[in-house]
């Protein structure tokens, strides 16, 4: 066991394994072109992976405000929805091609984050959470009544374009980019400031961190990225209406995945999103009616029993047996934060 650990550390096997997984994921759609009796990789499977990559990206974005900065956003789906509607409207009404439309959607979402964040990010704790939940519900109603622009409750149909491998690659690359970006951000002074805001906002302010500007900046970054996901989702779904894009349950998903993986860690949302997505796809697909009930139950169980999440529990060397082994052999440095990082 010890020898294995030494090999693991000397060659940095963790990185190799992650690289291998990414390579496999990149190669997956190519299996479609291998001639065989049965299709190895169905479009449905690619679709499932696409959904998962989107959830990974969304959970990672949510983690930027909810995990790193400590502002728990219950309405993050509003940015997903605005991205979807921004993209959808310029494509369906103005006939723009997809890529510029996607940029428009993301910008709409980011601008809205600037406006709403300026007000709501001044609120503390649960007030911020509920104000954002209110923003989500309010935005849904506003979109529903703005019938000439958004199609109202009847929804909006986008020009269909069902190239599953393309969406697979776009979402995969987006997820990788976002995770790498967050990993980089975490090591910058800006990232450390966010954590300082989470730990002690007044203290951070006294040390000369412009907390309001930091909070709004990270809020806009997360909104922009979630707007892109929303636009992609709208295009591959070809139909959007207020109830499916401004879904409070989507925010719950992001929160749940991040919590399960580990709040405020880089890998947490990825692990959490992958776990919950496949659990749901494989296990709950047979109990469709009970799906949301199970989701609520799982949320409660996670919050009560693993509030630190998988990464938190595993990273904590003093914790369980699994956690000790993980801390010793697989990931020697804890990925969460330590006091030393906050106050160097």
Residues that bind other proteins (CB under 8 A): 72, 74, 119-120, 122-127, 129-131, 133-135, 137-138, 141-142, 144-145, 248-249, 252, 255, 259, 289-290, 292-293, 295-300, 303-304, 307
Smallest distance, other proteins to C-beta of residue 103, A: 28
Cβ nearer to other proteins, comparing 70 with 327: 70
Burial class (CB in 10 A: 0-12, 13-18, 19+), 244: middle
Cβ nearer to other proteins, comparing 279 with 293: 293
Smallest distance, other proteins to C-beta of residue 184, A: 27
Smallest distance, other proteins to C-beta of residue 245, A: 16
Smallest distance, other proteins to C-beta of residue 189, A: 26
Cβ nearer to other proteins, comparing 245 with 255: 255
Cβ nearer to other proteins, comparing 13 with 130: 130
SS3 track for the chain: CHHHHHHHHHCCHHHHHHHHHHHHHHHHHHHHHCCCCCCCCCHHHHHHHHHHHHHHHHHHHHHHHHHHHCCCCCCCHHHHHHHHHHHHHHHHCCCCCHHHHHHHHHHHHHHHHHHHHHHHCCCCHHHHHHHHHHHHHHHHHHHHHCHHHHCHHHCEECCCCCCHHHHHHHHHHHHHHHHHHHHHHHHCHHHHHHHHHHHCHHHHHHCCCCHHHHHHHHHHHHHHHHHHHHHHHHHHHCEECHHHHCCHHHHHHHHHHHHHHCCCCCCHHHHHHHHHHHHHHHHHHHHHHHHHHHHHHHHHHHHHHCCCHHHHHHHCCCCCHHHHHHHHHHCCCCCCCCHHHHCC
Smallest distance, other proteins to C-beta of residue 292, A: 4
Distances in Å between the Cα of 233 and the Cα atoms of 52, 89, 153, 278, 343 are: 12, 14, 18, 19, 41
Cβ nearer to other proteins, comparing 66 with 191: 66
Cβ nearer to other proteins, comparing 244 with 299: 299
Instruction: Report the C-alpha gap between 90 and 88 in whole angstroms.
Output: 6
Smallest distance, other proteins to C-beta of residue 185, A: 22
Smallest distance, other proteins to C-beta of residue 182, A: 20
Smallest distance, other proteins to C-beta of residue 202, A: 14
The single residue listed with the structure tokens 């890998």 is: 267
Cβ nearer to other proteins, comparing 285 with 304: 304
Cβ nearer to other proteins, comparing 1 with 300: 300
């Amino acid at each position: 066991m010890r020898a294995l650990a030494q090999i693991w550390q000397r060659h940095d096997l963790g990185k190799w394994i992650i690289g291998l997984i990414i390579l496999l994921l990149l190669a997956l759609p190519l299996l479609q072109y291998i001639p065989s009796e049965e299709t190895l990789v169905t479009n449905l499977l690619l679709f499932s992976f696409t959904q998962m990559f989107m959830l990974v990206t969304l959970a990672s974005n949510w983690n930027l405000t909810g995990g790193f900065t400590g502002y728990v956003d219950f309405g993050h789906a509003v940015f997903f929805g605005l991205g979807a509607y921004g993209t959808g409207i310029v494509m369906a009404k103005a006939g723009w091609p997809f890529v510029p439309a996607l940029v428009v959607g993301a910008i709409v979402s980011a601008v809205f984050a600037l406006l709403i964040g300026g007000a709501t990010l001044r609120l503390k704790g649960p007030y911020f959470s509920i104000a954002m939940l209110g923003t989500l519900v309010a935005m849904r109603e506003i979109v529903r009544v703005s019938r000439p622009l958004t199609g109202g409750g009847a929804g909006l149909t986008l020009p269909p374009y069902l190239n599953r491998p393309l969406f697979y690659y776009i979402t995969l690359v987006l997820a990788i980019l976002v995770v790498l970006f967050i990993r980089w951000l975490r090591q910058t002074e800006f990232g450390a400031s966010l954590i300082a805001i989470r730990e002690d906002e007044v203290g951070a302010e006294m040390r000369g961190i412009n907390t309001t500007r930091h909070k709004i900046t990270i809020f806009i970054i997360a909104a922009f990225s979630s707007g892109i996901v929303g636009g992609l989702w709208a295009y591959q779904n070809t139909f959007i209406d207020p109830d499916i894009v401004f879904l409070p349950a989507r925010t719950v998903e992001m929160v749940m995945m991040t919590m399960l993986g580990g709040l405020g860690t880089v890998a947490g949302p990825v692990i959490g999103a992958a776990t919950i997505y496949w659990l749901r796809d494989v296990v709950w697909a047979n109990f469709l009616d009970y799906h949301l009930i199970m989701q609520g139950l799982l949320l409660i169980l996670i919050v009560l029993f693993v509030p630190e999440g998988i990464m938190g529990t595993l990273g904590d060397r003093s914790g369980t047996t699994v956690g000790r082994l993980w801390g010793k052999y697989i990931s020697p440095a804890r990925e969460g934060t330590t006091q030393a990082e906050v106050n160097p």
